[in-house]
Amino acid sequence: MYDVVGDIHGHAEALKELLYKMEYREKDGVWQHSKREVIFVGDYIDRGPDIRETLQLVKRMQENGKAIALMGNHEFNALAYNYKLPDGTHLRKHNNIHNRQHEQTLLQFQGYENEWLSYMDWFYTLPLFLDLKELRAVHACWDNKHIDWLMANDYRTMNKNLLVASHEKGSYPKQVIDEVLKGKEYNIPEEYAWKDKDGHIRTENRYKWWIDASASTYGQFLFNCPSHLNNQVIEERIDFVVYPRDAKPVFFGHYWLEDDFPKIQAANVACLDYSIAKGGSLVAYRWNGEVELNNDNFFSVTA
């Protein structure tokens, strides 16, 4: 049986408190449960106060068979930020926005640079998705076409060829990695532009890929929907494949939800990111084999 844990972002104390609440205990330096295993959905680094300890805890659990650790977009971004191109620049530019995003990680690894390099080697081994017999997990978005392409090309984990290809504008590898690790986006009119959590003006909204847009309002369909659009019915045709209601339960993080309590998004869909890095909660779902997910199976701790 699995306990699926959302984005941690360097909040090791909250993670230990959550594991303890779920009856995991530390033994020989490894947090473990006698009958259960954790699935981490990614985003272990950046923002929080205990990034090194978070990575140590998650990696030790994984290496000892007590957890499965997936890749998040922050681990992917870190690989690209460190990847040097032949002209001396980096795949992910070292500009003010990116420097600020990685600032806490780089600060906390000052004096431990070789350790940081070893963690980036580890990032290359993290699965991009998890498709088990009875459940699925991914960092941001499950799209069967993208998953099939990754499997057909033996891209179950990241490698340097895929890392470079996923930064080529207009390429299918870029679309796959962007959407699997960062979510699908919908362009809204410029007059409804909004500020994201980092203060950047956006006219693109991530959307809920399990919602049928043809029978919804923008508020039901979009994350961070501008208030003026919230109750408007979607009249234009938005053509994409909705995650099927009869598919395996799927778990993911990434979306910085801010509800007062964790709740399922659909009978077979659960987001586990409740903004621990913004004073929210660290959330887990205790899965016991059920086909229909249940709000009573959430565990959470506050920052």
Q: What is the pLDDT of residues 226-256, one digit of tens each?
A: 888 899 998 877 778 899 999 999 999 999 9
Say what the pLDDT of residue 13 is.
98
Cβ neighbours around 190 below 10 Å, total: 8
The whole model's pTM is what?
A: 0.95
Q: CB-side exposure of 45: number of CA atoms within 13 Å?
A: 28
Say what the pLDDT of residue 172 is.
97
**Beta-strand relationship, 281-287 and 2-5:** antiparallel
Q: Write down the architecture of domain 2-182+245-302 according to CATH.
A: 4-Layer Sandwich (3.60)
Tens digits of residue pLDDT in 185-217? 988 878 888 777 677 787 889 999 999 988 899
Say what the pLDDT of residue 283 is.
98
Cross-strand partners of 148: none
Say what the pLDDT of residue 37 is.
98
Report, in angstroms and rounded to the nearest whole number, the Rg of the chain calculated over CA atoms.
19
d(CA 231, CA 226): 10
- How much is the average pLDDT of 86-108? 95
Is residue 73 pLDDT above 80, yes or no?
A: yes
Is residue 5 pLDDT above 90, yes or no?
A: yes
Say what the pLDDT of residue 303 is.
79
**Intervals of CATH 3.60.21.10 along the chain:** 2-182+245-302
Say what the pLDDT of residue 181 is.
98
Say what the pLDDT of residue 187 is.
87
Residue 272 φ then ψ, to 5°: -120, 10
Look at the alpha carbons of 292, 249, 123, 279 in this order and tell me if their dihedral is positive or negative: negative
- How much is the average pLDDT of 37-49? 97
Instruction: Identify whether the C-beta of residue 227 lies closer than 8 Å to the C-beta of residue 192.
Output: no
What's the chain's average pLDDT?
A: 95
Instruction: Identify whether the C-beta of residue 243 lies closer than 8 Å to the C-beta of residue 142.
Output: yes
d(CA 43, CA 69): 10
Say what the pLDDT of residue 240 is.
82
Nearest 5°: the CA angle 71, 271, 242 is 95
Cβ neighbours around 295 below 10 Å, total: 11
- The one-character DSSP state at 244 is P
